[in-house]
Structure 1
């Protein structure tokens, strides 16, 4: 390993005693893997913990502390204490800790090939049972209650099929599909609860708000302000387009876009499949006036190189950036198009395509482990360099 720390059994006990539910505060979104021998297991609440040892090439022994969900949650998922073996070599994968040689454990594999996924259910379950869980998740989300994590082990295609079911359950209250959103395509560290290649969710009519809408902090539970970028589908030819210019010809406008996701889950129960099935916790999206575009090389260059910034109500710049080096918008559109095609769908004229955050995120609530709360009364996103005037979308926050 590239990092070594002398970390003994006494320190292990002390670290476990000090562990709390603030997973985001103690662990990054970077996914890493380590190998070692299991020295000790503590099967307990609120966190189950492992101490594993490694021997370096020069014979020095070092330790890693691995934490994961508590014993109650593991029992519900069919992971009993006797499956966690002391003295065995493991390959562990999870979120890198902010403290040296610590990890939030997602999966482990023994030398004989046995694997444990700490965020999935091993026992079979019927479609009716899953549908009942989704109904409860949808009701909890729309009623501002914590969603229980979706803890079933399945492939991504099946997870997206259950996302379709979740959306059908939500449509009577939230309205029909008006587009799609995605995330995970920027060059930063991947999110532990996103598939490595990216994630996709639905935009529903009831989620949409015009620029300038005022919201109250109380309308969200774990919401955060996010600067995004979106297109509008103009023509069904986009479904067969090959080149970037052909894809651009299937789009008719850029939509200034910001959103407030609200991923409100029971602590330590969020997983990749759960994030997919819960439609990424999408709560509200805000749209500005469309910027009409043309399928030309000039517009491709503008789209790939424009700059952006967020300002508050006093015109103070909060943060700025540029699209170049973040993600290539047309490449992300192609990914959305291909991903929904695998699910048997096509893009339709008029649908919105939100391509994911562009690096500016602010928390709404005090005490968030992700950072301090945004205290200004306005979150104004501006795109510069697309037209002579900035393209704008505004979220007002009532204080």
Structure 2
């Protein structure tokens, strides 16, 4: 985890010395991004954005959306799959912020056109138990400082024009596509869970049972809890830390799928616990 930490330290230093013109650009871009979020449209002009400006845009965007969506309740970690990192030419994830009213319980159908470029992903939420998680360096250490897991189907929004090649920086600027998500019932922490998280199979299936995407737990950074370790180190470099009760979206297990009006998508977590674990979302 040394490379992500070094990258974060450099980024934090650069943010602190950002010239005034960059700050002005940040405000203008964030204003466009917030307007696009509310209008469910894409954000153009981010193809050449740099890491420092992207970090500033995300922070400003989150602040601008808070009156609509409530306070921050946690984070999402993106670019956790090797294939996507290679495609974008990076060797590290990126993170976004989850706001309170982005997250809901299963039940009511979700409009299939909930986003400018909707992406449905099988994910998993880790619930932070105590601040000791910030010093964790192994999956077992992370697990000791969590209070629960929650199945999670993220309803993300790529938010970038289809003809614009995404970059890690442009994805970070649009808050890593955070828009909506559905939470399942809490899963208690129990012995052997760290091993099962790596070996479980997570899948997305449609209403007929056809598997649309699947991946092992280890598809996320070699172990899903490595996402928490990376995030804690990234936050530490910015003078921040994970807090008890915060939620951490660990990343997408397998490629995202498109919502279909009238369709249903079910995420299954085979091998995570003795009892079957699944969560569904219906689209209208």
Between the aligned partners of 2:236 and 2:28, the Cα distance in structure 1 is 27
Is 2:59 the partner of 1:164?
yes
**Higher relative contact order (CA closer than 8 Å, sequence separation 6+):** 2
The alpha-carbon deviation at position 151 of structure 1 amounts to: 5.5
Deviation at 1:192, TM superposition (A): 4.7
Match of 2:115 in 1: 220
Distance 1:131 1:194, change over 3 A: farther
Pick from 356, 381, 384 the counterpart of residue 267 of structure 2. Answer: 381
Distance 1:360 1:136, change over 3 A: closer
Output one character per residue of 1:140-177: Cα deviation in whole Å (capped at 9) or x when no partner: 221113312335654x3553243212211111112111
In the other structure, the counterpart of 1:287 is 183
Which has the greater radius of gyration?
1
Tell me the C-alpha RMSD between the 2 structures.
2.5
d(CA) in 2 for partners of 1:157, 1:133? 13
Q: Deviations over 1:348-385 (max 9, x none)?
A: 11111111111142123xxxxxxxxx466110111122
Cα distance in 1 between the residues matched to 2:126 and 2:228 = 8
Matches within 5 A, 1:280-319: 280-294=176-190, 296=191, 298-319=192-213
SS state at 1:301 partner: helix
TM-score (norm 1): 0.60
One of 24, 29, 37 as aligned partner of 1:141: 37
Question: What is the match of residue 391 of structure 1?
Answer: 277
Check conservation: 1:211, 1:288, Cα contact below 8 A. Answer: yes
1:191-250: CA deviations, max 9, x gaps? 655743111111111211212341112322210211112211111111122343221111
TM-score, normalised with respect to structure 2? 0.83
Distance 1:243 1:126 in 2: 38
Q: Which runs of 5+ in 2 are unaligned?
A: 1-18
Q: Would the alpha carbon gap of residues 395 and 194 (structure 1) be closer, same or farther in structure 2, given more than 3 Å must change?
A: farther
Q: Deviations for 1:40-69, whole angstroms, at most 9, x for unmatched residues?
A: xxxxxxxxxxxxxxxxxxxxxxxxxxxxxx
Deviation at 1:289, TM superposition (A): 0.4
| 1:161-200 paired onto structure 2 within 5 Å | 161-190=56-85, 192=87, 195-200=90-95
Alignment partner, residue 20 of structure 1: none
CA gap of 1:385–1:272, structure 2 versus 1, over 3 A, is closer
Gaps of 5+ in 1: 1-122, 365-373
Cα shift at 1:277: 1.6
Preserved contact between residue 218 and residue 224 of structure 2 (Cα < 8 Å):
no
Distance 2:197 2:87 in 1: 29
Name whichever structure is richer in strand by fraction: 1
**Counterpart contact for 1:309–1:381, Cα < 8 Å:** yes
